[in-house]
Chains A and B, each alone.
Chain A
Amino acid sequence: QSALTQPASVSGSPGQSITVSCTGTSSDVGGYNYVSWYQQHPGKAPKLMIYDVSNRPSGVSNRFSGSKSGNTASLTISGLQAEDEAHYYCCSYTSNSTLVVFGGGTKLTVL
């Protein structure tokens, strides 16, 4: 069982918006603004999409945005495109001995 809880799957039609949630505790998501999100296509390495809760690295589309409320972080993808279909993982610093925890991952299907 992963330390951070994500829905197993979400779906949306092209052009729509979707949100992926990531729920932790006050020891990780709720306690620090060190939440990042990764996109992973099949057979590929993950790619950083969001860091520090809501910052986008250079080159990442502004259709991707992040936010946090309490112990839950969220990734929103607007204007869904076919190439957004992938797995998405949240990640957070934790004050526990593990240092870093990942969510179980969410499969996004673009209908």
Chain B
Amino acid sequence: QVQLVESGGGLVKPGGSLRLSCAASGFTFSDYYMTWIRQAPGKGLEWVSYISASGATSYHADSVKGRFTISRDNAKNSLYLQMNSLRAEDTAVYYCAGEPKSIAVAFDIWGQGTMVTVSS
């Protein structure tokens, strides 16, 4: 079935790094734009990073620009988020989400999320 499965979350100290992964299955990964969206505990959704279907174009929220890098490997049906210089305010559940190339800003596939906790 159509599925996204995130991994790589955990507890990290301020200033540390983590690499999140998102494994896709059940659909044509290369036909989807991919996005990371996060949700701090008890808070709303926050868009983090976007990457085009080919991987040639990416965007990041101002809050993570220069610290986070999104990438993908279509041969491995995988999406990644390299997170450096982590701060307490980066603590959140991180979801990977896919939007088909045929429609914009419509995340119709979501993973279950992976928790990232930044604390000393």
B114 nearest CB across to chain A (Å): 11
Q: List B residues 75-120 near A (Cβ within 8 Å).
A: 95, 97, 103-108, 110-113
Binds A, one of B12-20, B23-31, B41-49: B41-49
A101–B44 Cα gap in the complex (Å)?
11
For this complex, into which size category does the number of interface residues on chain A fall? Answer: 20 to 34
Task: Indicate if the CB atoms of A52 and B110 lie closer than 8 Å.
Answer: no
Task: Indicate if the CB atoms of B45 and A48 lie closer than 8 Å.
Answer: no
A40–B97 Cα gap in the complex (Å)?
14
B70 nearest CB across to chain A (Å): 12
How many A-B pairs have beta carbons closer than 8 Å: the answer is 66
B35 CB–A CB distance under 8 Å: yes
With A2-B44, A93-B104 in contact, do A98 and B62 touch (Cβ < 8 Å)? yes
CB-based nearest A residue for B63: A98
Task: Indicate if the CB atoms of B45 and A46 lie closer than 8 Å.
Answer: yes
Task: Indicate if the CB atoms of A45 and B112 lie closer than 8 Å.
Answer: yes
For this complex, into which size category does the number of interface residues on chain B fall? Answer: 20 to 34
Task: Indicate if the CB atoms of B47 and A99 lie closer than 8 Å.
Answer: yes
Task: Indicate if the CB atoms of A92 and B105 lie closer than 8 Å.
Answer: yes
A38–B106 Cα gap in the complex (Å)?
9
In-complex Cβ contact of B107 among A2, A36, A101 (8 A): A36
CB-based nearest A residue for B112: A45
A109–B120 Cα gap in the complex (Å)?
37
The 7 closest A-B pairs by CB, nearest first: A51-B106, A45-B110, A105-B44, A100-B47, A34-B105, A102-B45, A48-B108
Known: A48-B108, A91-B45, A91-B105. 15 other contacts (CB 8 A): A36-B105, A38-B107, A45-B110, A45-B113, A46-B95, A46-B97, A52-B104, A55-B103, A57-B106, A92-B105, A99-B47, A99-B59, A100-B47, A103-B44, A104-B44
